[in-house]
Structure 1
Amino acid sequence: MSRIFALLLLCGTLLSAGCSPKSDGPQRYSLSGVVTYNGQPVEYGQVMLSPDRDKGNSGPASVARIQNGEYETFPGKGVVGGAFKVTITSDNPQNEYSDPIFPPYKTTVELPHEATTHDFVVPVK
C-alpha cells in the first residue's frame, strides 16, 4: 500500500510541476500614457524603452505604438521598472516616405515597479 501511495504522490508532484505557469524572465508591468508635440497629440509613432544600464537597470526592452496621441505597451511585454532610456518617433501612416513630424526624441525616465502611466511632451526645437 505504501508503494502505491508513494507512486501516486510522485505522479501528483510531477504533474503539478508540469502545469505551473512558465516564467519568461523578470516581472513586466504595463505602461501607458499620452505623447504630445507642440501642444497636440502625436497621431502615430513609437515609444521605445530600453533599461538604462548606466544606472544599473537591466532587463528586456519594450516598445509601444502611438495611435491618436496615446500609447500602451503590448500585454505581457511591458517594462521592468527602474531607469529607462526612451526614444520617441513620429510616423505619417498616409505617406510612409514623408518626413517625420519631429526628429527622434531621446529622454530618460524613472518608472516604478508596478503598472503605471507616464505622459511624454516632445519639445519643439
Structure 2
Amino acid sequence: MIRSALMHMRNRLLSGSLVLACLTLAGCGAGDTSVHLTGKVTYQGKPVPTGTITFSPDTTQGNAGHGSKAIIHDGTYTTRESFGLVGGPHVVRIEGFDGVAVGDNLDGNLLFKPFEESFDLPKSSGEFDFDVPAQRKKSR
C-alpha cells in the first residue's frame, strides 16, 4: 500500500515535470523573438565607465513585450546576460557613473542626469551604440 502511494506520487511528479519542460521549451522555441544587443556607450566622446541601460518597449508606438536591463562596464554593454529584448520602438534610460568609489557607492558619482529617449531598436541581434548628449544648463 505504501509502495503504491509512492508510485502514484512519483508518477504525478514526473507528469508535472514533463508539462513544465514542454511549456519551457515552447517558450524558448522557434516562436521566441528575443533580440540580443551589444554596443558602446559614450558621453562627451568618452566611454562611460559604469552604469545601467534599461530598455522598455514603447507602448505609445505599439510595441509590446518584455523589457530588459544591461550593465555598462568600461563603455560597453550586452543584453546577453538577460532575457534579451523585443526589437522596435523602445524608451531607453541610461545612467552613467564615473566608476570612482565613494564610500559604499562603488559606482561613484553620476556623470550626467539619467538620460531617457526613444529609439527604434533592431529586430535582429547585433550591435547598437549609444552616445549620451551633453546636457545643457537651464537658462534663467
TM-score, length of structure 1 as denominator length: 0.77
Higher share of residues assigned helix: 2
Shift of 1:86: 0.4
Which ranges of 4 or more aligned residues in structure 1 deviate by more than 6 Å? Answer: none
Q: Are 1:37 and 1:122, in contact at CA under 8 Å, matched by a contact in 2?
A: yes
1:113 aligns with 2:137: no
Deviation at 1:22, TM superposition (A): 4.0
Asked if the contact 1:82/1:111 (under 8 Å) is kept, the reply is yes
| Aligned residue number for residue 41 of structure 1 | 47
Q: Aligned-residue CA RMSD in angstroms?
A: 2.4
User: Larger % of strand: which?
Assistant: 1
Contact 1:30 1:75 in 2 (8 A): no
The aligned counterpart of 2:113 is 103
| Alignment of structure 1 residues 1-125 onto 2, 5 Å | 20=22, 21-23=25-27, 26-75=32-81, 77-91=83-97, 92=99, 94-95=101-102, 96=105, 98-125=108-135
Query: For the residues of structure 2 that align with 1:101 and 1:75, how far apart are their CA atoms?
Result: 24
Cα contact 1:45–1:88 (8 A) shared by 2: yes
Pick 1 or 2: higher relative contact order, CA cutoff 8 A, min separation 6: 1
Aligned residues: 110
Give a deviation string over 1:68-93, Cα, whole Å, max 9, x none: 00000134511111100000001336
Task: Give 5+ residue unaligned stretches, structure 1.
Answer: 1-13
Consecutive unaligned residues of structure 2, counting only runs of 5 or more, are 1-14, 136-140
